[in-house]
Structure 1
Amino acid sequence: MATEEEKVSTPHLEQLTPESLELLTPPTLTPREEARTWMKIDLRLMPILILLYLSSFLDRANIGLAKLQGLTEELKLTGNKYNIALTVFFIPYCLFEFPSNLVLKKFRPSRWLPGIAVLWGAVMVSMGFVKTYHQLVGARFCLGVAEAGLFPGVIYYLTLWYPRHRLQYRVGLFLGASSLSGAFSGLLAYGIGFMSGTAGKLGWSWIFILEGCGTVVVGVLAFFVMVDFPSTAKFLTPKEKNYLLWVKKYDTTSVGEEEHFEFRHIIMAVTDWQVWVHILLYWSIVGPLYGIALFLPSIIRGFGFSVPISNLLTVPPYAVATIVLLLFAHFADKLKLRWPFVLASQLLCVAGFSINISDASIRVKYFGTFLCAAGAYSGFPGILAWCGGNLAGQYKRSAALAIYIGLGNFAAAASSNLYRTRDAPKYKFGHGIELGFVGMGMAVLPFTVYAYKRINAQREALVKQGEESGGLKYTDEELRRMGDRAPEFRYGI
C-alpha cells in the first residue's frame, strides 16, 4: 500500500492538481534560497536526531562507566559474566534491525522513532533496580530489542531528505552524538559518582536511572518536533518542497527512484555484492569503535589512575574524535569522495591500537587512545554515507541498509568480548584483535574502489555505445526498476 509520501511525490497523471503539477516541473531556487532551504531542514531535523542518538549511545555504553562504580562487585560479575552482559545486547539489536526498517515508513518516523526511544529509556531505568546477574542480562536483551530500530531507521530517514553528496555531513552530525556521548557520559558519571549511597543505591544504579529518565524526556519531546517526509513537511513552503522532492527524486538518475514496495526489493538487497563488501568495511570501523565505547574507562583505569580520574580522562579523546569526525564529514561531502577519508580513519586506528599494544609509556598510550577514538568515530559516517548513497530505490535501500547495519553490528558483539578481565591492565589481546579488524578493512578498501571505478567505466562505455547506435532500449519504468544497476547510475567513490 502506498505511503502518504508516495501519493504526494508520484501523482497519477489523471489526478493532477495545480500543486501536483508543480511537483513535475523543475524547481527554480536561487543559490541563496537553496542554502536557506537546507538550513531550515537541518535546524528542524538534526537537533532531535542528535539528541535521540546521544541518548541511545549513552544508554548502551554507560555500562562501561557503571563497571567502575560498583556494578561488577554488587552483582558478582565474575569471570566472563560482564562480557556476556555486554554481548547479549547485540544479539536482538542485530536481528531486529532488518524488520524494524521495513516498517518504519508504515508506522511513520515521527511516531516510530520517538516511541522506541521512550521504550528503551524505560528499560534503562529498570536496569538501575536489577539485583542479580540474570536480571542484568535480561534488561540488556530488552534494551537491544528497543534500540534496534533507531540507528538504521535514522540513516534511512536521512537518505529520504538529503541527496548523497550532502549526506555524510548530516550523518556525521548525527553520529557525532556517539562520540559526544562518550565525553558527556564521563562527566556525568563523575558527578553521579558522588550520589553513591543515596537511597541505598550505589553509583552504577544512579547512572542507569538518571540517564534512562533523560532518554524518556527526549523521546516525549521527539513526538512533538519530528516530521515524517519531505512531502508532508509543513515547515517548508510549496516552492521549497517542490525543490527538495525534485532534487531527491533525481539525485542519482534522470528517471527518478522507484518508491513502491515489492518483495523483489529485498531480493535485490540480499544479492547486491556491494552490501556484502561494505559489511567488511563496516566491521573494520565498528569493531574498534565499540572496543573504545565499551572499554575506554577500563583501558585508562589500567594506566593506573583512580576511578574518578579515569572517568574524567575519557572526555578529551571523545572531544577530539567529535572534531575529527565533523572535519572528515565536511570535506568528504565537499570533495564528493568517501574512500580517502575512510582510509585516513583506518590509519588513525592502526596507529592508536599499535601504540596501546606496545610497551610505550603511559602518556604515549593515553595519546594513542585519542587516535583510536578519532579513527573509529570519524570513519563511521563515511562508510554509512558511502553505502547508502550507492543504493537506489527507496525500499531496496531500506532493506539493504538494515541488512548491512544488522550484520555489521556483529563486530560490535565480538568487540564486547575482546577486553577480558584476565587481560587487564594492558589488554593486549583486545588491542591485537582490533588491529585485525582494521587490517581486514584496509585490504577490502582498494578492491571496493577498483570495483566501483570499473563498473562506472563499463556503464560509461555502454551509454556511449548506445548513443552511437541510436540509444539504449530501456523505458523510464525499466530504468527505475533497475535502480542502482541501471546503465546511467554512477557509484560514488
Structure 2
Amino acid sequence: MSSKPGSPTPSIREKEDSVQTEDVHKVPLYNPDCDVSGVDERKLLRKIDWRLIPWLSLLYLLSFLDRTSIGNARLYHMQDDLHINDQQYLLSLTIFFFSYAVFEVPSNVFLKRLRPSIWLSLLMLLWGIMMTVQGLVHNYGGLLGMRWMLGVMEAGLFPGVNYYLSCWYKRSEFGIRAALFFSAATVSGAFGGLLAAAISNMDGIGGKPAWAWIFIIEGLATVVVGFFSFYVIQDFPDTAKFLNEAERTVVIRRLQGDDQFSAAGEKLRWKYIFQSLLDWKTWVGMVVYTGCDMPLYAFSLFLPSIINQLGFKATPANLLTVPVYAFACMITCLVGYLADRFGHRGYFSLCFLTIGAAGYIILIASRNAALSYFAVYMATCGIYPVVPNTIAWVSNNVEGSYKRSVTLAMVISFGNINGAVSSNVYRARDAPWYPLGHGLVLMYIGFGLVSTTVMLFFLKRENRRRERGDRDEVIGEGVEDEIKAKKNGKYATISDAKRDKGDSWSGYRYTL
C-alpha cells in the first residue's frame, strides 16, 4: 500500500518513536522558545497568499506580455518599417530564447544568495528599459540586440518566482499557487490582444508607428511596476517583514513537517549543486517540461498570426485571441486546484497532454476555419495547465533549497531553449494552415507524454523500494550494520540524515 507523499514509512516512524526519549535522536524544533499558540494557520496562509500571489502574478503578466507582444506588433507593419524579411523576423524571436535560457540557472543561485525584493525588482526595471528601447529601433540589428538583452533581463523571473513560492508553501499547497501565478500568462495573452488593439490608435503620434508604441507603452509600465516592487516583494519566510516572529516560526515549522528540511536556511555548498546535476529527476524533468514549454511559446507567439491567416484582419485577429486565453486561464487554475487536492500530478499531465495532442491533430487535418478555431481551445489544454503542474511536480520531488533552485532553473531553462525551435516552425510560406508548425508542436507533446510516463514509472519504483526498507539508513552510534551503513549511510540522528540526503532520505516519499 502506497503512503501519502511526504509521510514517513512505518519503519522510520518506529525508529523515531523508539528514540523519542533520547535528545540526540530528536529532530530539532525550529525556534523552540517561541510561543505560536496564538497563530491561526488558515488565516496565516491567506495572509501570505494576499501578500505574494497578486503582485508576483502581475510581474509575470508583464513579463510574458513583453516577450510575446512582438507577435501583436507584427500585425501592424513592423516588418515593413524595419525592412526585415520573414527569416529575419523568426531569428529575432529565436535569439531571445538563447539568452533567456543561459542566464536562468545563475539567476536562481543569485536569488537565493541575495534578497528577492532586490534581485527580482532589479531584473524587472532592466527588462522594462530594454522593452521600451525596443520601440525605438530602426533596423534589424537594433531589434536583434534588444531581443537578446530582453532575454537576459527576463531570465530570472519565472524560475526565480517558482522557486521562491516553493519556499513558502507545503508540497500539497504549491500547485494551485503556481497555477494562479502562471495564469498571468494566459491573462497576458488576452490582455495583450486588447492592449495592442487599443495602442494601435496611437499610430503616427510623435512620428512613431503603432507597433513602436506597443513596445514603448508596455515597457514604461514595466519600469513603473519594477520600481514599486522594491517595496512590495517580500523576502524568504525567516526574514519576511510582514510576519511577526510567531508567524515566521509557524511557516518554517509547517514546511519542515512537510519534509522541507532546509526551510530554516541552508548554506551554499557545491555539494548541493552537484546533487541536482547528478539527479535523474532533473534530466527527465527537463524533457517533461519541454513537452509543454515549446508548444507554449509556439502557441503564444503565433496565435494572432494563425487567426489572421484564417481570414481575420489585424485587430479582429487580436480580439479573437481573448476568449482562447480566458479559457486557458480557467482550465489552468482548475487543474492546479484538483492536482493539489487529489495529488497524482503526473496523471493530470498525461490526461491534458492527450487532449492537447488531439487538438493539434485536428489543426493538422482541418481545412475549415471554424473547426481550426475550436481545435485551438483543445490545444490550450495540453499546454497551459501542464506548465505549472510540471513545475509543481518537479518542485515537490526535490528537497534542499539550493538543490531545488538549481533543478527548477535547469528544467525551465531547457524548456525555454526549445522555445527557439518554436520561433522558426511557423513559416509564412506555410500559411494559412501551418502543417509543419502544428506537426512539430505535436511531436513535442509526444515527448511530454513519453517522459511523463517514464518519470511516473521510476518514482513509483523508488517509493516501493523505500517502503520495503531498501533505502533505510543506520541511525545511532550504538547500531552496527556495516552493509546497510555502506549502502545507505550511517548518521547520529534522523535529523542529520534528512539534512544530508534531502529527498534521498529513506522516509521521503515522492509525489506521483
Partner of 1:389: 396
Q: TM-score, normalised by structure 2?
A: 0.88
2:300 counterpart letter in structure 1: A
Question: What do residues 440-463 of structure 1 show as CA deviations (whole Å, max 9, x unaligned)?
Answer: 111122221111011011011117
2:276 counterpart letter in structure 1: A
SS of residue in 1 equivalent to 2:421: helix
- The within-5 A match list for 1:82-231 is 82-231=89-238
Give the Cα–Cα distance (whole angstroms) in 1 for the partners of residues 396 and 473 of structure 2.
26
Structure 1 residues 464 and 276 mapped into 2: Cα distance closer, same or farther (>3 Å)? closer
% identity of equivalent residues: 41
Stretch deviating more after TM superposition (135-144 or 199-208): 199-208
On the 8 A contact 1:258/1:481 being kept in 2, the answer is no
SS of residue in 1 equivalent to 2:399: coil
Give the Cα–Cα distance (whole angstroms) in 2 for the partners of residues 234 and 78 of structure 1.
52
On the 8 A contact 1:288/1:349 being kept in 2, the answer is no
Give the Cα–Cα distance (whole angstroms) in 1 for the partners of residues 419 and 473 of structure 2.
46
Q: Tell whether 2:477 aligns with 1:477.
A: no
Question: What do residues 386-406 of structure 1 show as CA deviations (whole Å, max 9, x unaligned)?
Answer: 001111111111111111111
Give the Cα–Cα distance (whole angstroms) in 1 for the partners of residues 413 and 353 of structure 2.
21
Give the Cα–Cα distance (whole angstroms) in 2 for the partners of residues 251 and 29 of structure 1.
21
Q: Tell whether 2:93 aligns with 1:74.
A: no
SS of residue in 1 equivalent to 2:234: coil
How far did 1:344 drift? Answer: 2.4
Partner of 1:21: 32
2:267 to 260, 263, 268: 260
Stretch deviating more after TM superposition (399-408 or 139-148): 399-408
How far did 1:374 drift? Answer: 3.3
SS of residue in 1 equivalent to 2:319: helix
On the 8 A contact 1:257/1:483 being kept in 2, the answer is no
Give the Cα–Cα distance (whole angstroms) in 1 for the partners of residues 167 and 206 of structure 2.
47
On the 8 A contact 1:114/1:222 being kept in 2, the answer is yes
Stretch deviating more after TM superposition (339-348 or 180-189): 339-348
Structure 1 residues 241 and 257 mapped into 2: Cα distance closer, same or farther (>3 Å)? closer
Question: What do residues 410-457 of structure 1 show as CA deviations (whole Å, max 9, x unaligned)?
Answer: 121111111111211111100000000001111122221111011011
On the 8 A contact 1:75/1:133 being kept in 2, the answer is yes
How far did 1:194 drift? Answer: 1.5
2:65 counterpart letter in structure 1: L
Structure 1 residues 192 and 80 mapped into 2: Cα distance closer, same or farther (>3 Å)? same
SS of residue in 2 equivalent to 1:479: helix
Question: What do residues 120-170 of structure 1 show as CA deviations (whole Å, max 9, x unaligned)?
Answer: 001100011100001000000000000011111111101111111100111
Give the Cα–Cα distance (whole angstroms) in 1 for the partners of residues 295 and 262 of structure 2.
40
Partner of 1:425: 432
On the 8 A contact 1:456/1:491 being kept in 2, the answer is yes
- The within-5 A match list for 1:5-84 is 20-22=31-33, 33-84=40-91
Q: TM-score, normalised by structure 1?
A: 0.92
SS of residue in 2 equivalent to 1:304: coil
Structure 1 stretches lacking a partner, 5+ long: 1-12
Give the Cα–Cα distance (whole angstroms) in 1 for the partners of residues 222 and 472 of structure 2.
56
How far did 1:250 drift? Answer: 3.0
On the 8 A contact 1:255/1:479 being kept in 2, the answer is no
Question: What do residues 235-293 of structure 1 show as CA deviations (whole Å, max 9, x unaligned)?
Answer: 22333221101011232267978722110111111111011101111111001111111
Q: Tell whether 2:251 aligns with 1:232.
A: no
Structure 1 residues 81 and 328 mapped into 2: Cα distance closer, same or farther (>3 Å)? same
Structure 1 residues 19 and 481 mapped into 2: Cα distance closer, same or farther (>3 Å)? closer
Partner of 2:20: none
Partner of 2:330: 323
2:319 to 312, 329, 339: 312
Structure 1 residues 29 and 282 mapped into 2: Cα distance closer, same or farther (>3 Å)? farther
Give the Cα–Cα distance (whole angstroms) in 2 for the partners of residues 248 and 97 of structure 1.
25
On the 8 A contact 2:472/2:506 being kept in 1, the answer is no
Stretch deviating more after TM superposition (194-203 or 88-97): 194-203
